[in-house]
Every structure is written in structure tokens, then in C-alpha cells.
């Protein structure tokens, strides 16, 4: 089954304790992205990657890091989480085309609470 | 910058009622337009899309027409079912997004359909 998986689905942590949220896709997509969803704000892009070893900032990258060492994986790293990073996080992937309008496939989400 | 405005929720309807969720956008040129749906506890799924003016996207009984003159992409369904209860997001990918393929989302509209 074609899918995007994220782990963990739920996480409660404390300020300053480094954490990683994993994202994996089995569709051989070049493009992957991270979004955060906050009430009343919709989803906002954190980072994206066009392919292996190619990453770039989205709208809200502060406090986050990413890496793309393999095509299928795109982990999101919070080196020193703070309470304002409490949110619902989604990973997404899509094939790439010149048009850039390909459907993005979303993971099930990771609900993070930073105390 | 580019933005999407969709009607405030929540929206509560009885089964078999007609649904309209309004969506208007601000963007340079001709963005691609999308409706995503988020069922409880799940990630976002593409519902339909349109990539040029006057295109009509349709899926599962839902429809939306890309109206350039009114910069709108309203979602409609003739007869809703309880299973349509979800949060609906209008989104666009602007022409200027380039490799970012950044989806700009509206704030979402919660739909509840009562039996």
C-alpha cells in the first residue's frame, strides 16, 4: 500500500530535550515536506526537500532541522524544543514535475506537546 | 503574499442537505487550487484539484470550479452524508512557488453532518 508513515504519532516531552520525528514514504517520491498545523492558521510549511541531500526552508523553519540522506526518509529534528513548538506535524511527499502541481500525500500526523 | 480565505466554521448540516464551503484566494498569476479533507485522527487527503481557470475538479460527489474572475474555488456537494463529516481545507500552489511546491492553506472548515 502506498503510504507516508510518521513516528511517533503522539509525543509529550519537556523543554530542551532533543527529539526526532521520523517520516518515511514508499512511493519513490523525490519531493518531501514538513508542515505544522495550528488552530486557526491552517498548515504552514517548515522545510522541504527536492531530493536526496537537497533541503530548503519553508515559512516557519526556526527551531527545526531536517536531513535527507535517503530518498524514502525525511526526519524532522527539534534540537531544543520549546512550548511554542507544541503542534500537530504532518509529513508529505509527492513526485516532481515541471508543473509542480502534483498531488501531495500526507502522513497521519504527529501530535507533539512540549511542557 | 499569496493567501487563501475560507468560510468560518463549524458548519452543521442534516444528512442529504446541500453543502457549500466558500474559498477565495489572493495570488499572482494562475495558481493551482486544491481541496484537501482531514477525517478525524487522520492526515490530509486530496479531495479534488484544478490547475487552470474554468477547470472543474470533482470527486466523491464534491465539485469545485476554478473561477478566475472572482478568484474563488467554492466546494459544493448536492447531498451530504454522515461520512462526510471532516475538516476541509482549501489550498493553492502559487506560480512563484517554484521548487518549493509550497501549499498555502486556508484555516480549515469543520463540517458535521447529522443523521
**CA distance linking residue B41 with residue B37, whole number of Å:** 12
Q: Pairing relation of β-strands B75-77 and B62-65? A: antiparallel
Handedness of CA A84, A90, A95, A98 (dihedral sign): negative
**CA distance linking residue A77 with residue A66, whole number of Å:** 6
The predicted-structure confidence for A6-60, as pLDDT tens digits, reads as follows 999 999 999 999 999 999 999 999 999 999 999 888 889 999 998 899 999 998 9
Say whether B43 and A109 touch across the interface (CB within 8 A).
yes
Grid cell locating B93: 500552489
Q: Is-contact A41 A49, C-beta < 8 A?
A: no
Reported as a pLDDT band with limits 50, 70 and 90, residue B98 is low
**pLDDT > 60? residue A98:** no
The predicted-structure confidence for B21-68, as pLDDT tens digits, reads as follows 999 999 888 888 999 999 988 889 999 999 889 999 999 999 999 999
Nearest to A32 by CA among A71, A79, A85: A71
DSSP state of B85: -
Residue B58 touches chain A, beta carbons under 8 Å: no
> What are the distances in angstroms from CA B37 to CA A28, A66, B17, B22, B71?
24, 27, 19, 14, 21
**CA distance linking residue B18 with residue B85, whole number of Å:** 13
**pLDDT > 70? residue A99:** no
Q: Using CB atoms, pick whichever of A58, A96, A105 lies closest to residue B102.
A: A58
**pLDDT > 70? residue B20:** yes
Residues of A with CB below 8 A from B99's CB?
50, 56, 100
Amino acid at each position: 500500500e502506498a503510504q507516508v508513515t510518521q513516528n511517533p504519532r503522539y509525543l509529550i516531552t519537556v523543554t530542551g530535550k532533543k527529539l526526532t520525528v521520523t517520516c518515511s514514504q514508499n512511493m519513490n517520491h523525490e519531493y518531501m515536506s514538513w508542515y505544522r498545523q495550528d488552530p486557526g492558521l491552517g498548515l504552514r510549511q517548515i522545510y522541504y526537500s527536492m531530493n536526496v541531500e537537497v533541503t530548503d526552508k519553508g515559512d516557519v523553519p526556526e527551531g527545526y532541522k531536517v536531513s535527507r540522506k535517503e530518498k524514502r526518509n525525511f526526519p524532522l529534528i527539534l534540537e531544543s524544543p520549546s512550548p511554542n513548538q507544541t503542534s500537530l506535524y504532518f509529513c508529505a511527499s509527492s513526485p516532481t514535475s515541471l508543473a509542480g502541481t502534483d498531488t501531495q500525500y500526507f502522513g497521519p500526523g504527529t501530535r507533539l506537546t512540549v511542557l | 503574499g499569496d493567501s487563501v480565505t475560507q468560510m468560518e466554521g463549524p458548519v452543521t448540516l442534516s444528512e442529504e442537505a446541500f453543502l457549500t464551503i466558500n474559498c477565495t484566494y489572493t495570488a499572482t498569476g494562475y495558481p493551482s487550487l486544491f481541496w484537501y479533507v482531514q477525517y478525524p485522527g487522520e492526515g490530509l487527503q486530496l479531495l479534488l484539484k484544478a490547475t487552470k481557470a474554468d477547470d472543474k475538479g470533482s470527486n466523491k460527489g464534491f465539485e469545485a470550479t476554478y473561477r478566475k474572475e472572482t478568484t474563488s474555488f467554492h466546494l459544493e456537494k448536492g447531498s451530504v452524508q454522515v461520512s462526510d463529516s471532516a475538516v476541509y481545507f482549501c489550498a493553492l500552489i502559487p506560480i512563484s512557488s517554484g521548487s518549493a511546491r509550497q501549499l498555502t492553506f486556508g484555516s480549515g472548515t469543520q463540517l458535521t453532518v447529522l443523521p
